[in-house]
Amino acid sequence: MSFFTRVTIVLLALFSLVDPTIAQSRRALNDTRPPVAPPESQIRDRLNAGTIGLAAGLLEGAPVHFATEIARVVNEGGDMQVLPIVTRGPTENVNDLLYLKGVDIAIINSDSLEEYKSQVPQIEQRIAYIFSLFPSELHIFVRPEIKTLADLAGKKVNFNTQGTAAAYSGPLMFSRLGIDVDKMFIPHPVALEKMRHGDEIAAVVFITSKPIDAFVQGKWEGGFKFLPVEYGAKFQDYYISSYLDAADYPNLIAKDQRIATIAVPTILASYKWRPDSPRYRRVARFVELLFGRIDKLRSSGFDPKWKDVNLTTRAPGLARFQAAQEWIDRASPAKPK
């Protein structure tokens, strides 16, 4: 065997040993390459399929605070994201829920539906409630010379700035009471100072969840007080009965006194999507996550009012969203007879 032949055989043997190593190195190199990113269209579709637009309300209002806490709980785990939207208030939220793209659910006051009856005669067939968040109590705070609701006829009464619950629901309530007042819409802190130092303004009307800091922390001379409003047939369509007592305002209400009033339920509502539609399935998924984590909202670190929320409480004027009712039925099965 010649020298050239022997060299050729040795080189072939070496290549046979090295080649698998090279192939393995190439495979290893291929395995370490970064994964190919999904197309942008897939990212867009996935984000939209798992995102809920929640019309909340004015930045300074309680609904935005509650919407933010809802988002905080539902967004855990990354299965869904809730986007709270700052809007012009609970009444405008009905409009957003009916017509604005990207809004799936909204925080509204039950009597907001009154404004839309002429525009949308069968509005209760377009909107459903998910659950009742909290009641917003009517507070009619008056000067010492005012003794009864009738004394306010023709007097200046402030209903806070436009867009607030008081600015919408307050005049509606007074209309149902049959009392015609000189309506004002200036910031309540300004109106309270005018009440304190003169008789230009006879009363201020707050509609919000009790207690209100201005009456808990403020110092008021004797005679300033809350007027009672009795619940009756004229309020049964949208309102519920409530009261104010010393536990709410110890500086203004005696320990043995309870002042009757009415309250506007503030509710989380959804458009009545068809059950076979993607939007319905999206809201149904939101309901499952929110209701399943409601105990987290009742824990420390969240608004104490969550502890008073009862998912089974009904809201006047609307039917419950189907997926929400189904969840409640599963959680509270009927007892066998």
Block means of pLDDT (10 residues each) for the chain, 337 residues, are 52 48 52 68 67 91 92 91 92 92 94 86 92 95 97 97 90 96 96 90 94 90 95 94 96 95 96 94 96 96 93 92 97 63
- The pLDDT, as a whole number, for residue 46 is 66
- The pLDDT, as a whole number, for residue 7 is 46
What residue type is assigned to position 16 of the chain?
A: S
What's the token pair of residue 16? 């046979």
**Distance between CA atoms of 105 and 127, rounded to whole angstroms?**
10
263 CB-contact burial (10 Å; exposed 0-12 / middle 13-18 / buried 19+): buried
Q: How many CB atoms lie within 10 A of CB 271?
A: 18
| Cβ-proximal residues to 114 (8 Å cutoff; 6+ apart), any chain | 172, 238
Residue 135 and residue 209 in contact, taking contact as beta carbons nearer than 8 Å: yes
| Cβ-proximal residues to 169 (8 Å cutoff; 6+ apart), any chain | 109, 111, 136, 138, 207, 264
**Distance between CA atoms of 6 and 221, rounded to whole angstroms?**
117
Strands 258-271 and 105-109: what pairing?
antiparallel
- The pLDDT, as a whole number, for residue 14 is 45
Closest CA to 96 of 323, 267, 266, 271: 271
Closest CA to 205 of 231, 175, 237, 234: 175
The phi, psi pair for 141, rounded to 5°, reads -105, 125
- The pLDDT, as a whole number, for residue 259 is 98
pTM over 0.75: yes
Dmax (CA) for the chain in angstroms is 129
**Distance between CA atoms of 321 and 287, rounded to whole angstroms?**
9
- The pLDDT, as a whole number, for residue 40 is 77
- Residue 318 to residues 8, 94, 122, 130, 259, Cα–Cα distance (Å): 91, 13, 11, 10, 28
The phi, psi pair for 211, rounded to 5°, reads -85, 160
What's the token pair of residue 120? 């949308």
Strands 182-184 and 156-158: what pairing?
parallel
- The pLDDT, as a whole number, for residue 1 is 57
Residue 261 and residue 83 in contact, taking contact as beta carbons nearer than 8 Å: no
